[in-house]
Structure 1
Amino acid sequence: MKRKDLLKAAFDKPVTDAVPPGSPLAETARVPSGAIRAMGLSLNRIEANAALAETFAEQIARGEVVQELDPLLIEPSFVDDRIDRTSDPDFRQLVESIAASGQQVPILVRPHKGKPGYYQVAYGHRRWTACRELQRNVKALVRPLSDADLVIAQGKENAERRNLSFIERATFAAHLESQGFERSVIQSALAVHPAEMTRLLAIAREIPKSFIAAIGPAPRAGRPRWMELAALLADARARERLVAIIEEPAFRKVGSDTRFDLALTRLRATKAPADAPFTFRDAQGRAVGTAEPTAAGFRLLFDLKLAPGLDRYLLENLPALIAAYESP
C-alpha cells in the first residue's frame, strides 16, 4: 500500500479502534478531532488533484488539450503546400479577425524532431503566421505525428478549410514525391484518385518552378488551362516569351489570376499565326490541301481527287526545293 494510502486509512479509522476496550478513553475517543479530520480532507484533495494532473498529462500527450505556444518556437511543415500564404486579401482579413476577436481555431503541431523545445506545423500555417505577426501566443494542439501523419493531416485540413488551387496541389504532390513519400500517402494527403495524381505530377514537372512562382496560385485557373499552358511551354520559344512577359512591370502589379490570364493569352496570340493550318487552293478557289505543324514537325495533306497527280509532282520536285533551300 502507498504511503499516502496508509496515512489516509489511519486518519479515516475511528479513534476507538486504537483504544483498548474498557479504557477510560474509550468513551471520549469516539470521533476524530478537528485537526485530524482536516488532515484527512487534505489528503483526499491531494489524491484528487494528483489524479486530475495525471489525466491532464495524458490528454496533453494525446493532443487533446489546447496549449498556448510562443510562435517563435514553431517552424513550418517540411513540405510547403502554398505558393504565397500572405499576399492575398483573405490573409489580411485573418490577421484583422485574430487581432479583434482572438484565435478561434487551434493549429496542429508536433514536437520538432531536430530541435528540442521547438514544434513543427502540420496545419494552420496561416493562423500561426498571423499570430506571429501580431506577436501573440498561438493556440495549438500538440501531437506526436510521424512524417506521413503530418502530411496527411496537412493535406486534409487544406481540403476542408481552404482549398488549394490546382497548381498548389500539383506542387504539393511534387514536393511530397521528392521527399520519397509513396503514392498512396500522397493520394491520401490530397484525397485524389491515381489518374488525377498522375496529371498533377505531370503538370508540376512540365512547368518550370520559376514560372509557377511568378504567376502564383491562380485559384480560378483550373486543370484544363494549366494543361494548356504546359503544352504551350513545350516550345522553347514560348518559354523565352514567358520570361519576357514576367519581367514586364505591369505583370508584377496585378493579381495572380490576372497574371495567369496574361501569360496564357499572350502565349496563345504569339503561337497562333505560326501554328494555324495553311490552306492550299487551286485556280478555282477550291481547298485542295492543308499544311499543319505537329509536335514532331510539319504535315502536308492533299485531296488527290481535286488535285490528281499533285503528290507525284511534289515528290519529283522536292529534291530541287531542298537544294535551293540549302544553297547560300
Structure 2
Amino acid sequence: MSKRGNQLDSILSPVTRDAAPKPVPERKASATPGSLKVMGMSLESINADAEELEALRSQMASGNRVIEIDPDVVDRSPFHDRLDADDGANEAFEALKASIADGGQQVPILVRPHPEREGRYQAAYGHRRMRAAKALGIKVKAIVRNLEDRELVVAQGKENLDRSDLSFIERAQFAAALEDRGFDRATIGAAVEPNKGNLSVLLSVARAVPADVVAAIGPAAKIGRPRWIEFTALLQSPGALERVRETLAGTAGLSADSNVRFNNAMAAAMAPAKTQKAAAGPQHVVSAQGERIATLERGVKRAKLVLQEPDFAAFVAERLSALHAEWRTKSDQ
C-alpha cells in the first residue's frame, strides 16, 4: 500500500475486516518497456488507494462500522454538557479506565468529521471513554457519522438521558447553552427534556443562578430539582447572592465534594441579612468655624463618639437624656 494508505490506517484502523485480501495473481511476462511498466504499476497503486479511500468514506457515512481512532484527533463536542468533575466523578472515571484496561471498550463513541479542521473529529458522546482511552495510550472505538449540529446535540442529549448521566444543574446549563446558541425548543427538548414544563424549570434555574456560582459549586450530582428551586428562590433575598459568593470563595468552597459545596452555599443563602453595615471610616464633626469637635465611629452593633474637649464632653453628657428623648419622638413620628 502507498505511504498515504499507511497513514490512513494509522489514524482509522478498522476493528473488523470484511474479507481477507485476495492473493495477487502472478503477472505474465510481457514485452512492455520498463519505463511503461513502472508507470502502469504507479497508476494501479494510485487507483487502488483511491478505491480504498472511497470505500472507507462510504462506510463512515453509513455509520454502520466501528473503527479505531487516535483520541488525540478527536475534540469535545462544541456544545458542552458537563461541569468540572469532583472527586466522586474522578473515582468513577478511574473505575471506567480500569474496566477498559481489563476487558476492552465495549461501547463505541459517536463522532463526526470536524466541520472546520480536516483530519480531526468532534465527539457527540462518549467523552469519558475517549479520555480513558487516551489515558491508557490506546485507540478509541468509534462510529463516524456525518451529523449536522441539530443531529449532534440530539444524539448527545439522548445518550445522557438513556444513561441518566447528567446532574440536574448540568442539564439546566446544557439546555440554556443550547438556547443561547439559537436552537429551538423542540431540539432542546429532544436533547435535554421532552416534557415542556420540566424544560421550562431547567431553563428558569439556569437563568436565575449566576454562571460563576454554578461553576464554583460544580455538578452536585446528589442535589435534585426541589433543592435547586429552593436555592434559586433564596438568591432573590437581599444580600443572599453576596453571602453565597463570599462563602464559596472562602474555606467552605474548598470542599472536594460539590454536594457539600452546594449545602454550604444553601446555608449562606438562608443566613439572616445584616441589618446595618459598618461605615467605611470615622466621621468627623466640625464646628461652624471648621474646627474638629468630635469623631464618630460606627460599627454594626454600636457606635463611639469621641469629643475633643473634656468640658464640652461634660456639657453634652448633661444633655444626653434630653437629646435621646427628642430622637425617640422623631423616630416614632
TM-score range, shorter chain: 0.5 to 0.7
Structure ranking higher on relative contact order (CA contacts 8 Å, 6+ apart):
2
Q: Is the 8 A contact 1:85 1:91 kept in 2?
A: no
Residue range with higher mean Cα deviation, 52-61 or 83-92: 52-61
1:38: Cα distance to partner?
9.6
1:234: Cα distance to partner?
1.5
Q: Is the 8 A contact 2:96 2:132 kept in 1?
A: yes
Residue range with higher mean Cα deviation, 250-259 or 179-188: 250-259
Identity %: 43
SS at 1:253 equivalent: coil
CA separation of 1:322 and 1:100: change in aligned 2, threshold 3 A: farther
Q: TM-score, normalised by structure 1?
A: 0.65
Letter in 1 for 2:267: T
* Whole-Å separation in 1 of the counterparts to 2:199 and 2:164: 20
Q: Is the 8 A contact 2:252 2:261 kept in 1?
A: no
Q: TM-score, normalised by structure 2?
A: 0.64
The correspondence for 1:167, drawn from 166, 169, 177, is 169
State the match for 2:228 in structure 1. Answer: 226
* 1:324 matches 2:326: no
State the match for 1:132 in structure 2. Answer: 134
State the match for 2:214 in structure 1. Answer: 212
1:266: Cα distance to partner?
3.3
Q: Is the 8 A contact 1:86 1:92 kept in 2?
A: no
State the match for 1:64 in structure 2. Answer: 64
CA separation of 1:220 and 1:151: change in aligned 2, threshold 3 A: same
Letter in 1 for 2:246: A
Residue range with higher mean Cα deviation, 210-219 or 180-189: 210-219
State the match for 2:3 in structure 1. Answer: none
State the match for 2:106 in structure 1. Answer: 104
Deviations 1:136-175 (A, max 9, x none): 2111000000000000000000111243111111000000
* Whole-Å separation in 2 of the counterparts to 1:75 and 1:56: 21
Q: Is the 8 A contact 1:112 1:119 kept in 2?
A: yes
State the match for 1:177 in structure 2. Answer: 179
State the match for 1:155 in structure 2. Answer: 157
Deviations 1:107-140 (A, max 9, x none): 0000000001100000101111111222221110
CA separation of 1:112 and 1:57: change in aligned 2, threshold 3 A: closer
Letter in 2 for 1:73: V
* Whole-Å separation in 1 of the counterparts to 2:329 and 2:151: 66
Q: Which runs of 5+ in 2 are unaligned?
A: 1-24, 28-50, 276-326
* Whole-Å separation in 2 of the counterparts to 1:267 and 1:191: 28
* 1:238 matches 2:232: no
Letter in 1 for 2:62: R
1:54: Cα distance to partner?
8.0
Deviations 1:195-214 (A, max 9, x none): 11111111101000111111
Structure with bigger gyration radius: 1
CA separation of 1:264 and 1:53: change in aligned 2, threshold 3 A: closer
Q: Is the 8 A contact 1:99 1:134 kept in 2?
A: yes
